[in-house]
Amino acid sequence: MRSPCDQLIETLKSFSPSLGDMRLKCAEYESGKVKVNLISDVTVSKEDIDFIKSSFEKELSGLLVEINCQKSFADCEIAKRAIYNYLQTHAFSVAHAINENSVSIISGGKKIVYVINVLDSVLEYLERTDVLNGIKSALEREYSNVFDGELRVSSKDEEKPVYEDMSVKEEDLSDLQLRTVKMCDVVRYSDDEIYDTATYIADGEELLGKCYFAGTVIEKEERQSKKGNTYYRITLDDKSGKISGSYFTTDKNKLSKLEKLQVGSVVIVRGEMEVFGGRPSFLIKGYHFCEFPSGYVPMKKPSKKPPEKYTFAFPTPCETSKQEDFFTVGTKLPETLLGKEFVVVDIETTGTDVASDKITEIGAVRIKNGVIIESFQTLIDPEVMLSKKIIELTGITDEMLVGQPKIQEVYPDFIKFLGNAIFVAHNADFDYRFLKNAGKDLGYYLENEYEDTLIISRKVIPSLPNHKLNTVCAHFNIEFRHHRALSDAFATAEAFIELHKLAKSKNLTI
């Protein structure tokens, strides 16, 4: 059912063909004003924007209305990536069995026709969750294209299943970057099948079908199903997370054995991970008693590997006017800069709240052996409207972000550029926390060592009236153009080099 806003837009389009295929992206009420974000396949004139604004205000009984209309049109490559990203975030239970090659674009233009090729078992899940309508609804709010797709079963030659008969093998889990633990002293108890390797519970949402978990029983509860059948709800904790599973059986021998399973028991269980009502559900089939390895502490989840190629943002070779002569750099620069790579980063954001605000720009430069050798920059569509304060502060406007990649599209490029280099920023905790938080939901775990020019400057130049970036740059006569990310990153990089040189001359350790 269409919203009143959608209905009004359809009426306006019938009166004014110049609006193109305009659609509602979202509407928000904030501080006595309704902010309406629209997309279209054409550039909408100011006169038409005023016409839309007055129509909405009339429809909304005189409420103040702010209209933002962006031209948003996806080509084949953008559409393919958008469909893949939707599957990764909205079909989490089968995301491990879908890669970018699973999505094929048949035709582009106004109507994007696509095919998703998946395994038979994955196809059943996607059909049950009505993923095609989900893609259509989500993407037609982002782009003015029409999306029409179908699901197909991959042939054996097209794609080999990640799991054989959906049963998890330890080597498969390693490829999927799922963590496992091999349990000790396994005592066969209530299952004919023998197993000793379990997936971390925290990684369980990435599984579908047959899987194994281990943990300490923290709850055992007898329940009644809607049909009056008795079953048991058993909750395990493996220190990485908790999971509850349902155990159904009418076998008297198994019910008798179940009495020995108590809170505090350590078990490894076999079961089926399914999806009901859009949420994962774990059905326990059998279990054995066991123990965790001595000194067991959950390992950190490994980060995704950087992509082999850049996709949306690309590094640019560069040098600055302050670069040292090649033959003298080794003698002038301190050892703290030689033989190392640093990536100096600055970001712009929609605000200062790491949990809710978004990144709008990333600028970064690479320092190798004390020399700035390349840069990386990209604007990012935060998918929210910018406040007047942020626009004034950064110089970035909503119009500048139209058509820019979203964070999930460009973050892998940033990770590739960063590599294993030491992360550097001014007030580094701010930039590092924003980027770490942005990567977490995408499977990238930022753990690079980092240095902070704010902290270094306080130690090396304590006499400065303050240690803001512009003040530090002024001390070294470094050109400073505040608040765009790449300019700030260049200025910070030059200040970083000068701070290390000054620290060397003062015999300071930083």
H-state helical runs in 129-185: 131-139, 170-175
The answer to whether 63 touches 36, Cβ cutoff 8 Å, is: no
The C-alpha atoms of residue 381 and residue 361 are separated, in whole angstroms, by 9
Yes or no: say if 167 and 285 are a contact pair by the CB < 8 Å rule: no
Residue 176: the pLDDT is 53
What's 384's DSSP letter? S
Q: Is the pLDDT of residue 168 over 70?
A: no
Q: What per-residue confidence (pLDDT) applies to 313?
A: 94
State percent of the chain over pLDDT 90.
51
> Mean pLDDT, to the nearest integer, of 66-82?
87
The reply to whether 483 belongs to the active site is yes
Is residue 360 within 8 Å of 394, Cβ to Cβ?
Answer: yes
pLDDT digit string, tens, across residues 205-228: 667 788 999 999 999 999 887 777
246-255, 367-376, 448-457: range with lowest mean pLDDT: 246-255
Higher pLDDT, 361 or 23: 361
Q: Which pLDDT band holds residue 5 (cuts at 50, 70, 90)?
A: confident
The average confidence (pLDDT) of the chain is 86
- CA-CA distance, 241 to 285, in Å (whole number)? 20
Name the band, by pLDDT with cuts 50, 70 and 90, for residue 320: low
What is the rounded distance in angstroms from the CA atom of residue 342 to the CA atom of residue 371? 10
What pLDDT score was predicted for residue 27? 80
Q: What angle do CA 203, 307, 376 make, to 5 degrees?
A: 120
Q: Give the closest residue to 67 by CA, choosing from 88, 100, 95, 39.
A: 39
Q: Comparing 60-74, 335-349, 350-364, 457-471, which segment has the lowest mean pLDDT?
A: 60-74
Q: Which of 79-83, 351-355, 369-373, 419-423 has the highest mean pLDDT?
A: 419-423
Say what the pTM is: 0.55
- Residue 171: pLDDT over 60: no
Average pLDDT, integer, range 22-42: 81
pLDDT mean over 71-76: 85
pLDDT band at 155 (very low <50, low <70, confident <90, very high): low
Looking at residue 144, its amino acid is: S
DSSP 57: H
| Closest by Cα among 35, 33, 36 to 22 | 36
Tokens 């001390």 belong to 475
| Range 241-252 burial, b when 16+ CB lie within 10 A, else e | bebebebebeee
Would you place residue 448 in the very low, low, confident or very high pLDDT band (cuts 50, 70, 90)? Answer: very high
Question: DSSP secondary-structure letter at 467?
Answer: -
Assign 432 to helix, strand or coil: helix
Lowest pLDDT segment from 164-168, 174-178, 480-484: 164-168
Tell me the average pLDDT across 54-73: 83
Show the CA angle centred on residue 187, arms to residues 185 and 189, nearest 5°.
Answer: 160
pLDDT confidence tier of residue 396, bands split at 50, 70 and 90: very high
- 246: β partners: 233, 283
Phi, psi of 123, rounded to the nearest 5 degrees: -55, -45
Output the pLDDT for position 160. Answer: 38
3-state class (DSSP) for residue 303? coil
| DSSP summary character for residue 293 | P
Q: How confident is the model at residue 278, as a pLDDT?
A: 55
Query: How many of the other CB atoms lie within 10 Å of CB of 174?
Result: 12
Cβ atoms of residues 315 and 416 within 8 Å: no
Residues 266 and 256: their CA atoms lie apart, in Å, by: 18
Half-sphere exposure of 447 (CA within 13 A, CB side): 9
Question: Measuring CA to CA, which residue among 208, 199, 202, 205 is closest to residue 97?
Answer: 208
Residue 144 CB neighbours (<10 A):
20
10 Å CB burial of residue 475 (0-12, 13-18, 19+) is: middle
Query: What's the rounded Cα separation, in Å, for the pair 121 and 38?
Result: 38
- Go through the domains of the chain in sequence order and give each one's CATH number: 4-71 (3.30.300), 76-153 (3.30.300), 178-291 (2.40.50.140), 316-505 (3.30.420.10)
CA-based nearest residue to 284, from 165, 204, 164, 184 = 204
Q: Give kind and range of the element (H or E) at residue 492.
A: helix 485-505
Task: Report the 10 Å Cβ neighbour count for 181.
Answer: 22
Contact call for residues 170 and 197 (beta carbons, < 8 A): yes
Q: Which of 419, 405, 375 is nearest to 311 (CA)?
A: 405
In 3D space, the residue among 448, 428, 447 whose CA is nearest the CA of residue 488 turns out to be 428
**pLDDT on residue 162:** 34
Q: Point out the catalytic residue in the list 467, 475, 483, 500.
A: 483
Give, for 190, the enclosing helix (H) or strand (E): strand 184-190
CA atoms of 115 and 127, how far apart (whole Å): 13
Residue count (the chain): 510
> What pLDDT, in 10s, does the model give residues 236-291?
999 999 999 999 988 888 889 999 999 999 999 999 987 665 567 899 999 999 99
In the structure, how many helices (H) and strands (E) does the chain have?
14, 20
> With 80 as the cut, is the pLDDT of residue 392 above it?
yes
239 neighbors 297 (Cβ within 8 angstroms): yes
- Measured CA to CA, the distance from residue 457 to residue 384 in angstroms comes to 35
